[in-house]
Structure 1
C-alpha cells in the first residue's frame, strides 16, 4: 500500500494513510467534520471575545487576543529560521503556557508538532527522531528540579539531522546553537508577522502526531488531521460553556490533554488553568484559587484528593463536573467520589475511554447499576464500534470479543508503519483497539480485558517488550519477562521476572541494580520496572511458549499474601 495524505490543495505528505474520498465526502455531508483547522477555531473566539482570559499558569495570564498575537509572532519566527510545511518538530515541554504558543504556531504554518512528555529520556527521544524524521526539537532546560541539559547535549550529538533546537526556560543556561523561542518573539518585525497572519493549513492536513506504544515495543506515531481530532473535541465539549474554567492536570504532551481540557476550552471559548504539578495538593490549590469548574483527573489523582488529610480546608464549591479518565476506575472509588462531590452539587462522570488513535466513549449522565462498569457510548456521531470474533467476524450484542471502531473520529494508520497497520486494521478498515469487551443491546460498551500485552500505569501505557529488550542487556541477566502487576493506586505497575546467568548469585542483584543500569542507558522512568522477581525457570504453555498469564497470576498471589491486595 502507498502511504500518502492528499488534501484538497493537492499537497502530499508521505508516510500517512489517507482517508478515502468516500469517507471525506460522507463525513463532510453528514456534518461530522466542519472543515475547520485549529487556526479557524481560535480565530472564532478571538473575533468574538479577544479580551476573554484564555490561559493561566504560574508564569502568565493571557487573553485570547494576547495569545493569538504571540502565536502569530512565533509562527513568523519559525518561518524566519526555515521551518516549513510538513516538517516534523518534537515538542517536549513541561506544563506551562508556552507549550500552547509553540504548538499553535507550528500548526498555523503547516509544520507538524510531535508530542513528547518530559519523562521520555535520550533513549526514547532518539527512537522518536528516527521514527518520524524530526528536523527540530522544542524542549526546556529543566523539568521541575531535573536538569535536562545533559539530555539535550547527548541527543544533539547523536542526531546531526536536528537543524533546530528551540528552548524554553532560563536563557543563560541554553546551550550554544539553540534558540530562545520566547525572546525571539520580540525580535521578529511587524512585516514578518504580516506574512503569516492569514496562513493556515488545510483541514485534511495532519495537525499533530501523538506517540503511543506498538506491538513491537517501538513507539508508534499517530497522525491526527485537523478534521478528525476536532471532531472528537467538538463532541467531547458539548457540555462545556464559555463560562467554564478547566484545570489541566495531565502532561501537555499527552493525548488526553488535547482531546480534553485544552481542546474543549478552545472549542467553547472558556478559560484553561495549567497545573504544573500532578500532586493532589497542588490540584486542590488550583481549584481553590482559580475557581475551577471542570476537572478531569487520572484515577490516582482522584484517589489522592479523596484521601488528602486537609481536604476540608480547600474551597471546591466552584466545581460543577469531575471525571476520572486515562485508566479504569475501581467501583468503590467511584462511589466514594460520587458521595463526596455530590454533597456540594458537583456531577461525577462515570468511567470514560479514550486513546491517542481517536476512539472514545463516555457517559452523558452519572451511571447507575451495571452501567457503572461500562465506559459509556461512542463520543463521536458516526464512529461505529463492533466486537470481533477470532476470525474477525462481527459478534452479536453482549458477545465478548476484541473491540474495533471506524469513523470520523478515528485515525487511519500509524506513520510509516505498514506492517503495524496490517496488524491493527481489519480488511473493512476497522481499527482494532486491543481491548476485549462487549457491546450491549443499547449500545453501551464494556471492557473486560486486553488483547495487547501492555501495562496501564495510571494514564500511561507501557509496552513490556521494550523494557525487556533493555533489561536483557544487563550482564547478569540471562532471560527476562515483564508483566503487569495490579496496584491499588496506579492500577498496574511493571514487574520484571528475571533468570540470571548461572554464575550470578540471586542476592547480588537488586531492583536498584536494574534501574541504575536502565538510567545509564538513557531510558526514562516509564521503562523502569518497579519490582524484581528472580526465578530459576519460566512457566511455559502447552506449546512451549512463555506463559505470561501464569507470571501475572504468580505476582497477583504474592501481593495478596503480602497484604497489598485484598483476597479475591
Structure 2
C-alpha cells in the first residue's frame, strides 16, 4: 500500500516542528544561521503573518528572484501557510524574460536580491519597471504589469523604492496567531501553491501549476527512496527556483526531518568544505557539478566519509561519472531521478539497495504511486519491455496544468491523465527505465535514427574526455550529421581524428561524429540543463551550414 501524506506544505512543517523540534532544520554555516525545525517553523509563521499584514492574501501570486538565500526557503513555507502561490524566477533571467514571467504569471509582489553573477537585478528591474524611480516603501504601479503592486528587497542596504524583507518580519509581530490559523483552516491540499516556469530549453517558458499534494508527496517518496531519516544532513547545491532544489532537496528533507545545508551559489570548493564541516550524509547535483567536485585540485584533501546517498539528475547521468562518484566520494547509495517540472518533478528513481549496475545504467523504476508506460511515438500504443518509445507517466505528481495555457496543457496531458514527457526511453521487464534521448533531439541521418546518448556514453569511456554532448547539425546530403562538443580533462590534448579513431570499429560508422569541437563549457539553463539547441545554433553559424538544409 503506497503511503500518501495529506498535509499542506505549511501543515507539514508544523508537524515536523513538533516531531523533531530540536533537530537542525536549516543551516547556513557561512551566515552563522542554525535553525532547529521549531525555530525554522516560528520564522516561517512570523513571515506568513507579515505577508498578511502587507495585504498579500490567499490565491495571490508572488514571485521570487534570488539564489539559495535563507529567505528563499523561508518564503517557500511562509507563502504556503497562507495559500499564496510562489512563482519561482530563474536566476539567469534578463529583462525580457523577467517581464514575460511577471506579466504571464500575474504576480503582484516580487522578492529579489541585488544581483546574481553578472546580472544586476536592481538595474534589470528598473529596465522593466521605470516607474520604480517614483516608488516608496516598495509600492509600484506600471501599465505593462497591471498586477504588480510591490517589490521587496532581500539583503542589506535596501535600494531606493524597495521595501526590505526584514520589515515583513517586523510586521508579523502585529498579527495574532488566530488570524494565521483562520487562513490555514481554509486551505486545501489540492490547491495550486507553486508555479515553476519550464527551463526554456524550447519555446516560451510555461508556468507549471503544482499543488501542496504534488510537492509534499513527491518530496516524501523521493526521500523514502534515499532512506532519509531525521539523522541525515543534505548539502543542497542545486537552485531552489527549480524543482530539483525546492522538491528533491527541500521537500524530501522536510518530510523526513532531515537537515538542510544549502550552498548559496554553486562552487565545488564550497561544496567540499560544507560536506566535511557539517558531516553531510547526502549530496545532490547535476553531472557537471559532480565532475567539478571530482576534478577540483584539492578534492583529495577533504574527508567525505560521512556521505552516503543523494541524487544525480537534471540531465543524462554519464555512467563513468556515476562510478567515480560512488568510488571516490563515498556515495555508495547515490540514486538517479528522472522527471520534469510537469511531474513535480520525480517520475522514476533508483533505490539505494539496487545493484550498482542498475543505479548507473538506468534512472530506476516508477516512484511509489506513479504509473509509467512506454508508448509508440507514432501510434500511442503501449510497448512491451525492451522496445523504445515515449515515456508517459500518470499519478499524484502530475501538474494541474500550464497557467492560462489550456491548449498547451492538452498537448502534454491526454484525456486519460497520462503526461507525455517527450522523452525516449526503454523499460525492462522489471520496470527499470533507460532514457535514450529527447524525441526532438533524435538525429536522423540518411534515414537512420541516431540517439545522441548512445554516442555520448561511448565517448565518456575515453580517458581524456571529461564531458561530451552530441547533437545533430543540418546536412544537404544526409539531412543531418552528427556533431560532438567535447570538454577535455585538465592538462590533456586531443585531436578530432583521435576521437573518430576511437569510435571506428566500436560504433556504427554513421554514428561517428563528422564534426568535433573542443569547448571549455556548455550553454546552460541556471538549473543545470545543457541547451543543445544553442550548441546546434552556434555550430550552424561557425560551420556555415545555414544553406545545408533546415537550420531551424
* Consecutive unaligned residues in structure 2, runs of 5 or more: 131-143, 443-451, 454-470, 472-479, 490-522, 524-529
Matched, 1:101 2:71: no
Tell me which residue corresponds to 1:357.
342
Contact residue 383 and residue 410 of structure 1 kept, 8 A: no
Contact residue 25 and residue 35 of structure 2 kept, 8 A: yes
**2:402 alignment partner, SS class:** coil
Matched, 1:253 2:262: no
Contact residue 288 and residue 316 of structure 1 kept, 8 A: yes
**2:172 alignment partner, SS class:** coil
Q: CA deviation at 1:236?
A: 0.8
Structure 1 pair 436–357 and aligned structure 2 pair: CA distance change class (3 A): same
* 1:239-272 C-alpha deviation (Å, 9 max, x unpaired): 1000111111011111101222211210111211
Give the TM-score, by structure 2 length. Answer: 0.76
Question: How far apart, CA to CA, are the structure 1 residues paired with 2:288 and 2:204?
Answer: 27
Contact residue 158 and residue 164 of structure 2 kept, 8 A: no
Question: How far apart, CA to CA, are the structure 1 residues paired with 2:418 and 2:70?
Answer: 37
Matched, 1:181 2:169: no
Q: CA deviation at 1:222?
A: 0.9
**1:448 alignment partner, SS class:** strand
| Pick aligned residue for 1:226 from 185, 188, 212 | 212
| Pick aligned residue for 2:10 from 18, 39, 42 | 39
| Pick aligned residue for 1:129 from 77, 80, 102 | 102
Tell me which residue corresponds to 1:535.
544
Tell me which residue corresponds to 1:156.
129
Tell me which residue corresponds to 1:556.
none
Matched, 1:336 2:324: yes
Contact residue 95 and residue 251 of structure 1 kept, 8 A: yes
Question: How far apart, CA to CA, are the structure 1 residues paired with 2:542 and 2:118?
Answer: 32
Structure 1 pair 350–104 and aligned structure 2 pair: CA distance change class (3 A): closer
Tell me which residue corresponds to 1:240.
228
Tell me which residue corresponds to 1:204.
190
| Pick aligned residue for 1:309 from 291, 294, 297 | 297
Structure 1 pair 130–452 and aligned structure 2 pair: CA distance change class (3 A): farther
Question: How far apart, CA to CA, are the structure 2 residues paired with 1:366 and 1:349?
Answer: 10
Matched, 1:53 2:24: yes
Structure 1 pair 31–311 and aligned structure 2 pair: CA distance change class (3 A): closer
* 1:251-302 C-alpha deviation (Å, 9 max, x unpaired): 1111101222211210111211110121111100111111111111111111
Number of aligned pairs? 453
Structure 1 pair 179–250 and aligned structure 2 pair: CA distance change class (3 A): same
Q: CA deviation at 1:32?
A: 5.2
Q: CA deviation at 1:39?
A: 1.4
Give the TM-score, by structure 1 length. Answer: 0.74
**1:329 alignment partner, SS class:** coil
**1:153 alignment partner, SS class:** helix
Question: How far apart, CA to CA, are the structure 2 residues paired with 1:339 and 1:97?
Answer: 33
Question: How far apart, CA to CA, are the structure 1 residues paired with 2:69 and 2:202?
Answer: 33
Tell me which residue corresponds to 1:19.
none
Question: How far apart, CA to CA, are the structure 2 residues paired with 1:439 and 1:121?
Answer: 40
Structure 1 pair 370–104 and aligned structure 2 pair: CA distance change class (3 A): closer
- Supply the RMSD in Å over aligned alpha carbons: 3.0
Tell me which residue corresponds to 2:90.
117
Structure 1 pair 416–487 and aligned structure 2 pair: CA distance change class (3 A): farther
**1:446 alignment partner, SS class:** strand
**1:421 alignment partner, SS class:** helix
Contact residue 437 and residue 448 of structure 1 kept, 8 A: yes
